[in-house]
Structure 1
Amino acid sequence: MRYDLDDLRLFALVATEGSITGGAKAMHLSLPSASARVRALEAQAGVPLLIRERRGVRLTPAGATLARHARDVLAETTRLDSAVASYAISGTEPVRLVAGGSAMHQLVPAALATFLRDHPEYDVNVKERRTVRSVKILAGGEADLGVILDDEPTLLRTEPLADDSLVVIGQAGGILAGRNSIAYAEVAEHPLVALDRVSPLTLWMEERLGPHAPVPRYRTLVPTLHTVISLATAGAGLAIVPRRAVDAITSIDICPLEDAWSIRAHLLCYATNAPQGTYLLAEHLRAAASVRA
């Protein structure tokens, strides 16, 4: 037997709505047309599929079996369409995004997840770069959109995006318990865990601390912010991280830094003549930034 996908879709809707009228409306068909399709499907199956009543229809055992398998077939067809479509070549140039390590931890992944889902016509090329480098790349037309820190001067168009202030974290009930704030000079007296020395966050901090800042003892330097947070949570040492990265974590103590350099923010930065996809991606970055970590 050969089944028409539209007939199967109609029958599945009739089963869900409990009436041919409801199925016809969902399929944007006239009632006579939908009724004729259902009758033809019954004739093809050779058994009654519906019990017609005054207020709708009920499925016969054969109809219930057909409806269940029809849903499976339609779902598999949707997956097939999606799988084949994934090989299609986008008709637009990829949106080129640059961002620092802090933004890459949660903000950029959250925005990309919704953008790529909602805009299959666009691809995105993403690079992790320090703010100073991102600004140069954007000014040179090598990227379309950037998530940068607010301490780098630029003549490009910028707009506020999200707070990216730094805080100190440590094991719950540890030396930060009950503290309202702490100075970096005191933090450096304790063992620390941190990102490796070539990470954007580490380089940014070293530039602002200067040569006369106390030299901390790092128990370990690791490549990802996620690992830093996990180690600090386990009590391996204190850590300095963006507040957004830990706001939702209840198993650690969080203490603001007293140092002025710890207050910073993310900006959206646009290249000149950025393509349309840039502004669509910017919308998703704003939405992601509006949700606290």
Structure 2
Amino acid sequence: MLDVRRLRLLRELAHRGTIAAVAEALSFSPSAVSQQLGVLEREAGLPLLERTGRRVRLTPAGENLVRHAEAVLERLEQADADLAEARGGLSGALRIGAFPTATRTIVPAALVALARRHPGLEPMVCETDPAAVAHALRAGDLDVALVHAYDFVPAEREPGLTTEPLYGEAMYLAEPARGASAAAGAPGAPGPSEAPGAEAGPPPDQGAALRAHAASPWITATPGTLCHTMTVRACQAAGFTPRVRHRMDDFGAVLALVAAGQGVAVVPQLGATVPADPAVRLTRLVMQRRTGLAFRSGAGAHPAVAAFGAALRAAVPPDLAGSRAEA
């Protein structure tokens, strides 16, 4: 009989690529991971790994076993969900991953509703970049997480995970204002749920709007994040590579630098819902950011995951909830 704990190690190796990465993620020593995978090979009765120096890759039999492991682990998540439902009354920790703009604008209201309905549940929020969510969920470090995708950075399918769409956001080009017309409250300005200080009317030619700043300094998120990749790819699609001056992940700080004349940036709608600054002009672009709720496949029916999802959907502003494109 194959051991499910060793199957999990093999699955992690398939996704992380190295034994060292698996060991670090699951708090094992590399030698312990290698030993357990060796035991799994003996249980399987044929080679599952090919070793070339320090590199390891799965054999066809190993890749096929990983597919079975995904199905087994999904059924175990379903069994856990069924047991939680049978016990009744939610309690214990719920580990939630969320990115900063959602944590600041939507998650607090969801947690208030969750505490009111399920006082025994202990939600624990950890700021997690969507690029790191898949590994954290599969390793069991998170139970549920908010993820996002952009038009220029589509979400890749992650084996073993399920993502449900939540909402979509408009994207804005943030640049230093040239006059008082960008001030909040100007005639025709969007409502409070829209980005303050944004120009009214239909989105302009996105390529032309970005190309107008081909020679400008840019402010992006830190490399390795989806937000950084989005800005670079959007500019490249417009025909140039941005000259990045500042790198930071807090959109409030990004807008402060724009107001100080330090560069231009692309920001999402929730990232722009800070006190309006007349020194910043926000021009709506055609592109969009889509946010979804991710969890391990089979865990969607778990009462705690379902309760958090319901509270989160109720907390989404109506103008965002109306756009539920697949994340």
TM-score bin, normalised by smaller chain: 0.5 to 0.7
2:310 to 263, 266, 283: 283
How far, CA to CA, are the matches of 1:206 and 1:157 in structure 2? 28
Q: What residue in structure 2 maps to residue 162 of structure 1?
A: 167
Q: What residue in structure 2 maps to residue 13 of structure 1?
A: none
How far, CA to CA, are the matches of 2:220 and 2:138 in structure 1? 31
Cα pair distance change 1:113/1:229, threshold 3 Å: farther
The residue type paired with residue 176 of structure 2 is Q
Conservation of the 8 A alpha-carbon contact between 1:176 and 1:255: no
Q: How does 1:186-205 map to 2 (within 5 A)?
A: 186-205=212-231
Cα pair distance change 1:233/1:163, threshold 3 Å: farther
Conservation of the 8 A alpha-carbon contact between 1:191 and 1:219: yes
- 1:263 matches 2:262: no
Q: What residue in structure 2 maps to residue 126 of structure 1?
A: 125
The count of corresponding residues between Structure 1 and Structure 2 is 201
Displacement of 1:160 in angstroms is: 2.0
How far, CA to CA, are the matches of 1:102 and 1:196 in structure 2? 15
Report the TM-score, using the length of structure 2 for normalisation. Answer: 0.49
Displacement of 1:241 in angstroms is: 0.8
2:262 to 198, 223, 236: 236
How far, CA to CA, are the matches of 1:176 and 1:139 in structure 2? 49
How far, CA to CA, are the matches of 1:289 and 1:209 in structure 2? 30
Structure with higher Rg: it is 1
Q: What residue in structure 1 maps to residue 97 of structure 2?
A: 98
Displacement of 1:240 in angstroms is: 1.1
Q: What residue in structure 1 maps to residue 281 of structure 2?
A: 253
Q: What SS does the aligned partner of 1:273 have? A: coil
Displacement of 1:243 in angstroms is: 1.6
Conservation of the 8 A alpha-carbon contact between 1:170 and 1:176: no
Displacement of 1:95 in angstroms is: 0.9
Structure number with greater CO (CA < 8 Å, separation at least 6) is 2
Q: What SS does the aligned partner of 2:92 have? A: coil
Conservation of the 8 A alpha-carbon contact between 2:268 and 2:289: no
Q: What residue in structure 2 maps to residue 86 of structure 1?
A: none
Q: What SS does the aligned partner of 1:263 have? A: strand
Across the aligned residues of Structure 1 and Structure 2, the Cα RMSD in angstroms comes to: 3.7
Displacement of 1:247 in angstroms is: 4.9
Paired-residue identity, %: 22
Displacement of 1:228 in angstroms is: 0.9
